[in-house]
A and B are shown apart, each in its own frame.
Chain A
Amino acid sequence: MATIVDIATEKALEVKNFEFTYAGADEPNIKKLTMPIAKHSITALIGPSGCGKTTLLRSFNRMHDLYPGNKYGGEILFKDRNILGSKEDLIKLRTQIGMIFQKPTAFPMSIFDNVAYGLRLQGLKNKTELQDRVEKALQDAAIWQEAKDRLRHDANGLSGGQQQRLCIARAIAVEPEVLLFDEPTSALDPISTAGIEELVVELRKRVSIIIVTHNMQQAARVSDYTGFMYLGELVELGRTEELFVTPKEKLTEEYITGKFG
């Protein structure tokens, strides 16, 4: 069984005996996984390729439902309800649990419209309120200074790092409670990466964050808790400073010291 540290604070999400099977697969990709996610903290998921960390991340906002035939098992509790239920309102769920992707995904529209997109989907039409919330989101995502003079310009004119911050602005504009980051800096240069990491740490005050990363240093730099996954199972979840210095599981130690991976 996995070694799981006690989470001192409240929990944002609770994964219980979670299983996930991709369409057409015989074996579940994630097996009987149990894991608490702390509120207003950053939880990093690390592990070798194919360990299921991205699969787990994409289960929190039911992204897998976009493709037919995928099967969930067990429970993921969010606000005391199991979000894996067939009656779950996915539209609402996804406004409460936002996501940032591996590559910047600016929509083919202006910077302003990108950030306003989620708000407009929720039916917000009032111009001044839209303006205020877009400005606030851009400020919170630390891109207001660069973007304020070209809000009406095509968002694809921004650099990669700026686009990724724009995507973060777009996600926080709808004020989600949880933000999922799927290797958000894998397509960025070191300077943009540092900017995004700083921003992630800053955002922790308002949202609970789960970040999947291939980069152990990144997990060590930004996160409060780190979960190490291997072959579809959680091996260890610990406080980041403890997990990287004194891992409880042998497998974790071998992975973070680079014996495999």
Chain B
Amino acid sequence: MSAIIDKIFANATKFIAIGVLLLVAWIFTVLFEHSLESIEAFGFSFLTETKWAPNLEKFGALPAIYGSVVSTFLAMILAVPLAIGVAIFLSEIAHSKIKTPVGVSIELLAAIPSVIYGMWGLFYFVPIIRDIFGGIGISMLTAGIVLSIMILPFMAAVTRDAMNTTPDILKESAYALGGTKWDVVKDIIIPYAKAGIIGSFILALGRAIGETMAVTFVMGNVHKISADLTQPATSIPVTLANEFAEADSGLYYSSLFELSLLLLVISFTIISIAKFYFLRRKRIGQ
């Protein structure tokens, strides 16, 4: 009897697990199916065309791709050093009385819904950027900064956790050779936790590139490629959030689906790379 129950249980869990895979495949299929019209119409040039003109039925994804890449890149440049600094402070320097409250509040920051970052960015950050850098304030730069603030807590928390996995005895060995705190952080902790730290960066990158609400408020949804960071721009998720409601033609609709397919593929790739790093760390730990 119990053998039968075990078998039923095993099969039920197997079914559910496979269900998740099917769900992902289903999403992918739906996106692909709806993209077909656009793929047939534009082919590869969809990725290289800079014009996005719904009234002319011409759709090119390059400005959105450019915006996604540049805003994410800006966010990473700003957030990585800060995240490492916060993580080092929390794992090695802060007194235990400060460590816990600051650590917990950083984890809480990571839980703030992104729409709130977006609103805050629009009402308080846009004017500041406008005053300092000129332009209208709604811009690529603002989006990069808001994104960096949004991913910072997550990155700092995961980086700190990775650093905390360094065995005390290893750190003590370096101190016992006459190392300073800085020597130990730079030569022992960061190399030891490297895989986990890079993994956290890539996960944050994945989050930044797919982020919608926080940047929709501050980016402007302007399909133009401009080297001037104070100009408004767009990104893949920003375009999707702004334009689905007004997609009046089949090709317009299909082009938006192709954009979302693109985003899915990019995010998948990034998460896979992150997982690869995390898995590698696990293997070393065994």
Contact = CB atoms under 8 A, between A and B. Distances in A.
Interface of A: 61, 63, 66, 68, 91-92, 94-95, 98-99, 101-103, 105, 107-109, 117-118, 121-122, 167, 170-171, 174
A80 B16 CA distance: 73
Interface of B: 95-96, 167, 169-180, 183, 187-188, 191-192
A107 B170 contact: yes
Contacts, number: 62
A105 B178 contact: no
Given A63-B172, A68-B95, A174-B177, 16 more contacts: A63-B175, A63-B176, A66-B172, A68-B96, A91-B178, A98-B176, A98-B177, A99-B176, A101-B169, A105-B167, A107-B170, A107-B174, A108-B188, A118-B178, A170-B177, A174-B178
B177 A105 contact: no
B181 to A, nearest CB: 9
Contacts of B176: 61, 63, 94, 98-99, 101, 171
Chain B interface mostly: helix
A121 B186 CA distance: 12
B173 A121 contact: no
A103 B169 contact: yes
B175 A107 contact: no
Most chain A CB neighbours (cut-off 10 Å) among B175, B178, B180, B188: B178
Counting chain B CB atoms within 10 Å of each CB, which of A101, A108, A170 scores highest?
A108
A172 B211 CA distance: 53
A117 B177 contact: yes
Given A68-B95, A107-B188, A121-B183, A102 B169 contact: yes
Contacts of B188: 107-108
Q: Top 9 A-B pairs ranked by shortest CB distance?
A: A118-B177, A105-B173, A99-B176, A95-B178, A108-B191, A94-B178, A91-B178, A108-B192, A105-B170
24 contacts: A63-B172, A66-B171, A66-B172, A66-B175, A68-B95, A91-B180, A94-B176, A94-B177, A101-B176, A105-B167, A105-B170, A105-B173, A107-B173, A107-B188, A107-B191, A109-B191, A117-B174, A117-B177, A118-B177, A118-B178, A121-B177, A121-B178, A121-B183, A171-B176
A44 B70 CA distance: 63
A137 B9 CA distance: 60
Q: Which of B169, B171, B173 has the most CB of A within 10 A?
A: B173
A118 B178 CA distance: 7
Nearest to A119: B177
Contacts of A61: 176
Contact of B175 (A68, A94, A122): A94
Contacts of B167: 105
A174 B174 CA distance: 13
A171 B180 CA distance: 16
Contacts of B178: 91-92, 94-95, 118, 121-122, 174
Contacts of A68: 95-96
B169 A171 contact: no
Contacts of B172: 63, 66, 99, 101, 105
